[in-house]
Amino acid sequence: MKEKLQKIREKAIAEIESSQGMERLNEVRSAILGKKGELTAVLKGMKDVAPEDRPKVGQWVNEAREAIENRLAEKMKKLEAEALRRKYESEKIDVTMPAKLHAAGKLHPVTQVRNQLVDIFGSMGFDVYEGTEIETDFYNFTALNIPRDHPARDMQDTFYLSPEFLLRTQTSAGQIHVMEEKKPPIKIISPGKVFRSDDDATHSPMFCQMEGLVVDKGITLCDLKGILDVFVQKIFGENTTTRLRPSYFPFTEPSVEVDVSCFQCGGKGCKLCKGTGWIEVLGAGVVNTKVLRDCGIDTDVYSGFAFGIGMDRIAMLKYGINNIKLLFESDLRVLDQIDD
Ligand code: DAH
């Protein structure tokens, strides 16, 4: 019996030692210690052992069992440690490797300008009105005091979709919608795309404007100047100011062209301002009473001012872009340089 147990023990230990993985180790365990295992079979056979030999045989069996279990536990530890080592090895990071470069996206310069304008005018209490790019002839022209035979229509070469519908040539169309929908006080900006059949270094068939409209009691050209001064100081720098020059727009009376003092030379005269010290940035004026009246606004009580800013032009001036095409070519070498 002792020999038999010794053999079981040696065989078990040899098998444990040669086991390559946890699965195999478990197989070996149940082949020896499991319900139908070899050592369990010996235990079951104890009833056939003479009663006086039982304590001795029992002790041998226990010794064998203990030895096998110890080996099993040791082997299991080894296998676990090995598995952990392999896992660490496979997950090892070389912290000295150069990092992978992730190109970060950026907002388009005109979008950056748009966001800045919305922030600046938003901080002065303006709401944003989003108009539509397809307009009717009425909103884009007639209601803005530009009837069909008006020469001002020639200033804006229009893409007509039908005799009635067109791609808006100016965000001014939004003024009429706002005044139809809302009673004064009105204080809105309306940024968006506009379209004209025009194409050269400073003109693109699609460009971006931002309309502004204020209608309230006692509004004058001075209010316009005050608001525009804040606007240019925030967008071009604290030392800039505005200058109003007489101009003509059918929907404003009086109308002005607004210049900003050159933010590059401080007004002394340079290439950017063509030696004049001033740069034209937008058109504006006091809203024509005819336009207000046609929208049902009592001009004895209310008056207003309006302005139209070319956002692409602001972006070009601000970021030193000399050809409007660069804004639409999506050349990352250009766009990457611009981040405010
Ligand atoms: N809509 C004009 C244009 O596209 C710009 C403009 C001028 C808008 C004067 C205005 C304004 O609201 O008062 O040329």
Q: Is 191's C-beta closer than 6 angstroms to any atom of ligand 1?
A: no
- Take atom 8 of ligand 1 and give the residue whose Cα is closest: 308
- Res 118: pLDDT: 97
**Amino acid making up residue 158:** T
pLDDT of residue 132: 96
Residue 149 has pLDDT above 90, yes or no: no
**Protein residue whose Cα sits closest to atom 7 of ligand 1:** 283
310 lines ligand 1 (CB under 6 A): no
Query: Measured in angstroms, how far is the CA atom of residue 224 from the centroid of ligand 1?
Result: 13
For residue 124, give the nearest of 214, 255, 8, 21 by alpha carbon.
214
pLDDT on residue 29: 87
pLDDT at 198 over 80: yes
Average pLDDT over residues 52-80: 87
Cβ-contact 260, 242 below 8 angstroms:
yes
Q: Which residues contact 290 (CB under 8 A, 6 or more apart)?
A: 145
Ligand 1 contact, 288 CB (< 6 A) = no
State yes or no: pLDDT of 178 exceeds 80.
yes
| Any ligand 1 atom below 6 A from CB of 192 | no
Is residue 153 predicted with pLDDT exceeding 80? no
Q: What is the pLDDT of residue 259?
A: 95
pLDDT at 8: 85
Amino acid in the structure at residue 246: P
- Quick check: 285 pLDDT over 90? yes
pLDDT at 42: 81
Closest among 94, 178, 83 to 130, alpha carbons compared: 178
* Average pLDDT over every residue of 53-80: 87
pLDDT given for residue 1 in this prediction:
78
User: For residue 189, what pLDDT is reported?
Assistant: 98
What pLDDT, on the 0 to 100 scale, is given for residue 304? 98
Give the pLDDT confidence of 89-118 residue by residue, as tens digits.
989 888 898 988 888 788 899 999 999 999
Q: Residue 309: pLDDT band by 50, 70, 90 thresholds? A: very high
With a cut of 90, say whether residue 20 has pLDDT above it. no
Residue nearest to atom 5 of ligand 1 (CA): 308
pLDDT at 310: 94
Q: What atom of ligand 1 comes closest to residue 175's alpha carbon?
A: 12
Split at pLDDT 50, 70, 90, the class of 10 is: confident
Task: Give Cβ neighbours of residue 104 (< 8 Å, ≥ 6 apart).
Answer: none
Q: Residue 239: pLDDT band by 50, 70, 90 thresholds?
A: very high
| % of the chain beyond a pLDDT of 70 | 99
Per-residue pLDDT averaged across 56-79, rounded? 88
Strands 127-128 and 186-195, sheet pairing: parallel
**CB of residue 250 inside a 6 A radius of ligand 1:** no
pLDDT of 205 above 90: yes
Centre of ligand 1 from the C-alpha of residue 78, in Å? 82
Per-residue pLDDT, 146? 94
Q: For residue 131, what pLDDT is reported?
A: 93
Residue owning the nearest CA to atom 4 of ligand 1? 170
Banded model confidence at residue 336, pLDDT cuts 50, 70, 90: confident
Biggest CA-to-CA distance, the chain: 130
For residue 47, what pLDDT is reported?
84
Average pLDDT of 29-44? Answer: 85
DSSP 8-state secondary structure symbol assigned to residue 168: -
With 80 as the cut, is the pLDDT of residue 231 above it?
A: yes
Query: At CB < 8 A and 24+ separation, what contacts does 161-166 make?
Result: 161/134, 163/137, 164/136, 164/137, 165/134, 165/135, 165/136, 165/137, 166/134, 166/135, 166/136, 166/137, 166/140
Q: Average pLDDT in the 193-211 region?
A: 90
Quick one: pLDDT at residue 174? 96
- According to the model, what pLDDT value does residue 67 have? 87
Query: Does residue 283's CB lie within 6 angstroms of at least one atom of ligand 1?
Result: yes
C-alpha 281/C-alpha 273 separation (Å) is 11
- Which residue from 204, 249, 253, 311 has its CB within 8 A of the most atoms of ligand 1, so it is best to mutate? 249
pLDDT for residue 302: 98
Write down the residue that tokens 């809105």 correspond to.
Answer: 188
